[in-house]
């Protein structure tokens, strides 16, 4: 059914052009064959041992093969959390002048309204009959004049780079038919829209991929590749507006622009011992964000390019930069402004390495292939507690440092792995607080998944299943205590930390089904694939299987 705006304007509705799409992988949606093990409904998360049931609805949504499944799951969860925090707030178009990208009090949305839902993720903007085709470009924000002027110049530069990239792509690929739509680019890439997209990125996606320091991010000084990546990723938060759909025409050009820069910089600097200047770090951040963006695509050509070209290029660039082996250059403990800035520089590099490793692992699981980052690469430091990195001022950083419990923290992935490979693992709160944080537990379960995928692809998983089973059990013992602390409000879980147990369930199930030799699911046949459909069907089939 056309939306009100299209009915009143007599135009073909965007939503009808896209076709009717089901919500993103709800637990009642059927994908592929029915499981041989009967499904009994979704169980609630449990803080008990392995016998506790884990809700994997997020994992089902995150692997939805219909397209934009990952971003849908992430943004829908962010919106749901926002509704819990601001249920009494009223829509307001105001914006903080100090931080251009922060808009407050976006409205809640109704997933039961079919005219406002695209792939299970409704628009974050209220529908109005008097909107034009691109509704966000209006009077909804009023940044300072000097900010607008600078951002206008940067926006024109973005469009110019996209135009040049599209022309280069057409020259090198005779099969490309689409010319650069300059008129569309001018309508989409405006200062108002760019501000909205930046806000959308930090509001809906940053918690799940916290590789930037939001309080010190400045759209006027960030490198152009990073700014473009943030704008493109942030545009997904305004589905299903015509503008957010139109901007997808520029995704491939944006991806090519960033990765060509990344490869050329890598070639130029690879002979150096390490290269992690601010410019290089921001380019790597842009590449990582674009992997996240394009992983949403259901276009198999795009997904094959991500699997065979972009992921290897990013991993090679991070390895070449020396970030996988990066050790903090400054002691975490200096609480003045310079100490806070030094901490941000250090932690941003540590987090970039960790999130490249975890993203590579998750994409390997998605594509049913071997990870590109070896555990032996990960010799650098592990990320610190997330709240410490999110401190907005030097004063807040100082206060958090004062409340920080001193402990002999685990500093490397190899030390973290030794905790769960050594038997037995103590599940007491004291043991956990002495060694690990929730963010490090997320790195650890990704490392165990990486081990499992590597062994599966080399046909040796069955010979090493027992020690890995023990490590997975050890991980769960540690996690249960952290999860209890989170429920008690001691250390709330953030972003993907909330779903670390989903990955534990997946790791455990891959081992169990592989050990039984059950290949009734295509995913267990060790054939690399570009679609996430095989993984999604595997999760649906075994979601209630205890083994």
Look at residue 132 in the predicted model and tell me its pLDDT.
36
Tell me the residue length of the chain.
547
- Are the C-beta atoms of residues 419 and 474 closer than 8 Å to each other? yes
Mean pLDDT of 233-247: 83
- Are the C-beta atoms of residues 389 and 494 closer than 8 Å to each other? no
Q: Which residue has the higher pLDDT, 500 or 52?
A: 500
Look at residue 311 in the predicted model and tell me its pLDDT.
97
Q: Which residue has the higher pLDDT, 378 or 388?
A: 378
Lowest mean pLDDT among 32-46, 251-265, 301-315, 393-407: 32-46
Mean pLDDT of 7-25: 40
% of the chain at pLDDT higher than 70: 67
Lowest mean pLDDT among 147-151, 281-285, 321-325, 392-396: 147-151
Confidence of residue 94 (pLDDT cuts 50, 70, 90): very low
Look at residue 405 in the predicted model and tell me its pLDDT.
67
Place of tokens 């002691």: 331
Q: Rounded CA gap, 387 and 389, in Å?
A: 5
Look at residue 124 in the predicted model and tell me its pLDDT.
39
Q: Rounded CA gap, 66 and 29, in Å?
A: 12
Q: How far is CA 90 from the centre of its chain?
A: 29
Confidence of residue 22 (pLDDT cuts 50, 70, 90): very low
Q: Could you tell me which residues come within 8 angstroms of residue 406 by beta carbon, excluding any fewer than 6 positions away?
A: none
Q: Could you tell me which residues come within 8 angstroms of residue 142 by beta carbon, excluding any fewer than 6 positions away?
A: 95
Confidence of residue 114 (pLDDT cuts 50, 70, 90): very low
Q: Which residue has the higher pLDDT, 487 or 223?
A: 223
What the block records as the tokens of 169 is 């792509």
Terminal Cα-to-Cα distance of the chain (whole angstroms)? 45
* Nearest partner of 437 among 400, 359, 492, judged by Cα: 492
* Nearest partner of 315 among 233, 379, 371, judged by Cα: 371
| Cα 29 to Cα 44, 45, 65, 295, 445, distances in angstroms | 19, 21, 12, 21, 28
Look at residue 47 in the predicted model and tell me its pLDDT.
38
Q: Rounded CA gap, 391 and 397, in Å?
A: 5
Q: Which residue has the higher pLDDT, 197 or 330?
A: 197
Look at residue 53 in the predicted model and tell me its pLDDT.
60
CA dihedral 225, 230, 233, 237 (to 10 degrees): -160
Q: Could you tell me which residues come within 8 angstroms of residue 138 by beta carbon, excluding any fewer than 6 positions away?
A: 192
| 424-442 pLDDT per residue, tens | 555 444 555 567 888 999 9
Look at residue 125 in the predicted model and tell me its pLDDT.
38
Look at residue 58 in the predicted model and tell me its pLDDT.
82
Q: Which residue has the higher pLDDT, 99 or 405?
A: 405
Look at residue 297 in the predicted model and tell me its pLDDT.
87
- The 3-state secondary structure of 238-256 reads HCCCHHHHHHHHHHHHHHH
| 151-185 pLDDT per residue, tens | 999 999 999 999 999 999 988 876 676 778 899 99
**Tally of CB atoms within 10 A around 223:** 17
Q: Rounded CA gap, 51 and 57, in Å?
A: 18
Q: Which residues of 134-143 are buried (b: 16+ CB within 10 A; e: fewer)?
A: bbbbeebbeb
pLDDT of 368 above 80? yes
Confidence of residue 461 (pLDDT cuts 50, 70, 90): low
What the block records as the tokens of 306 is 């991500």
Mean pLDDT of 178-193: 90
Place of tokens 């490198």: 223
Look at residue 269 in the predicted model and tell me its pLDDT.
64
pLDDT of 218 above 70? yes
Q: Rounded CA gap, 86 and 124, in Å?
A: 14
pLDDT of 72 above 80? no
pLDDT of 460 above 60? yes
Lowest mean pLDDT among 95-104, 250-259, 329-338: 95-104
Q: Rounded CA gap, 286 and 295, in Å?
A: 14
Three-point CA angle 196, 288, 510, nearest 5°:
115
pLDDT of 202 above 50? yes
Domain boundaries, the chain: 333-547
What the block records as the tokens of 127 is 């529908």
Q: Could you tell me which residues come within 8 angstroms of residue 183 by beta carbon, excluding any fewer than 6 positions away?
A: none
Look at residue 361 in the predicted model and tell me its pLDDT.
97
Look at residue 141 in the predicted model and tell me its pLDDT.
46
Q: Which residue has the higher pLDDT, 337 or 411?
A: 411
Confidence of residue 407 (pLDDT cuts 50, 70, 90): low
Q: How far is CA 535 from the centre of its chain?
A: 18
Q: Which residue has the higher pLDDT, 92 or 373?
A: 373
Confidence of residue 273 (pLDDT cuts 50, 70, 90): low
* Nearest partner of 397 among 315, 340, 480, judged by Cα: 340
Q: Which residue has the higher pLDDT, 410 or 325?
A: 325
% of the chain at pLDDT higher than 90: 42
Look at residue 19 in the predicted model and tell me its pLDDT.
38
């Amino acid at each position: 059914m056309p939306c009100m705006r299209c009915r009143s304007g007599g135009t073909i509705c965007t939503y009808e052009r896209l076709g009717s799409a089901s919500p993103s992988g709800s637990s009642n949606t059927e994908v592929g064959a029915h499981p041989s093990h009967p499904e009994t409904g979704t169980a609630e998360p449990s803080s008990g041992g392995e016998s506790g049931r884990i809700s994997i609805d997020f994992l089902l949504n995150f692997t939805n093969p219909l397209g934009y499944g990952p971003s849908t799951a992430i943004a829908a969860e962010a919106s749901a959390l926002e509704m819990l925090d601001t249920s009494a707030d009223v829509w307001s178009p105001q914006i903080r002048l100090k931080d251009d990208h922060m808009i407050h009090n976006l409205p809640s949305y109704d997933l039961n309204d079919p005219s406002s839902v695209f792939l299970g993720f409704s628009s974050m903007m209220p529908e109005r009959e008097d909107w034009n085709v691109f509704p966000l470009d209006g009077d909804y924000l009023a940044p300072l004049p000097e900010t607008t002027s600078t951002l206008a110049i940067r926006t024109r530069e973005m469009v110019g780079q996209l135009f040049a990239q599209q022309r280069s792509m057409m020259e090198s690929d005779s099969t490309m038919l689409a010319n650069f739509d300059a008129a569309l680019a001018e309508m989409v890439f405006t200062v108002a829209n760019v501000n909205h997209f930046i806000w959308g990125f930090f509001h809906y996606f940053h918690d799940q991929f916290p590789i930037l320091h939001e309080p010190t991010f400045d759209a006027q000084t960030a490198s152009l590749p990073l700014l473009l990546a943030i704008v493109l990723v942030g545009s997904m938060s305004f589905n299903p507006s015509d503008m957010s759909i139109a901007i997808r025409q520029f995704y491939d050009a944006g991806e090519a622009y960033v990765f060509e820069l990344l490869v050329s910089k890598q070639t130029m600097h690879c002979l150096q011992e390490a290269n992690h200047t601010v410019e290089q770090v921001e380019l790597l951040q842009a590449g990582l964000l674009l992997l996240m963006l394009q992983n949403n695509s259901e276009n198999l050509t795009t997904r094959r390019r991500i699997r065979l070209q972009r992921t290897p290029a990013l991993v090679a660039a991070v390895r070449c930069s020396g970030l996988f082996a990066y050790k903090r250059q400054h002691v975490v403990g200096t609480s003045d402004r310079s100490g806070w800035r030094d901490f941000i520089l250090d932690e941003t590099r540590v987090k970039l390495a960790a999130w490249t490793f975890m993203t590579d692992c998750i994409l390997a699981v998605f594509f049913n292939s071997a990870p590109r980052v070896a555990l032996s690469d990960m010799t650098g430091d592990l990320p610190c507690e997330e709240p410490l990195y999110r401190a907005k001022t030097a004063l807040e950083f100082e206060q958090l440092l004062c409340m920080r419990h001193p402990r002999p923290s685990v500093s490397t992935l190899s030390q973290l792995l030794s905790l769960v490979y050594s038997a037995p693992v103590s599940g007491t709160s004291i043991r956990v607080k002495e060694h690990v944080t929730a963010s490090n537990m997320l790195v650890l379960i990704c490392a165990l998944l990486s081990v499992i995928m590597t062994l599966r692809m080399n046909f040796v998983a069955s010979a090493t299943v027992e020690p890995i089973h023990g490590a997975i059990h050890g991980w769960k013992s540690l996690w249960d205590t952290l999860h209890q602390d989170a429920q008690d409000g001691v250390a709330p879980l953030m972003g993907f930390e909330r779903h670390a147990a989903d990955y534990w369930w997946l790791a455990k199930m891959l081992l169990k089904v592989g050990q039984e030799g059950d290949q009734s699911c295509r995913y267990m046949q060790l054939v690399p694939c570009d679609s996430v459909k095989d993984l999604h069907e595997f999760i649906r089939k075994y979601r209630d299987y205890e083994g």
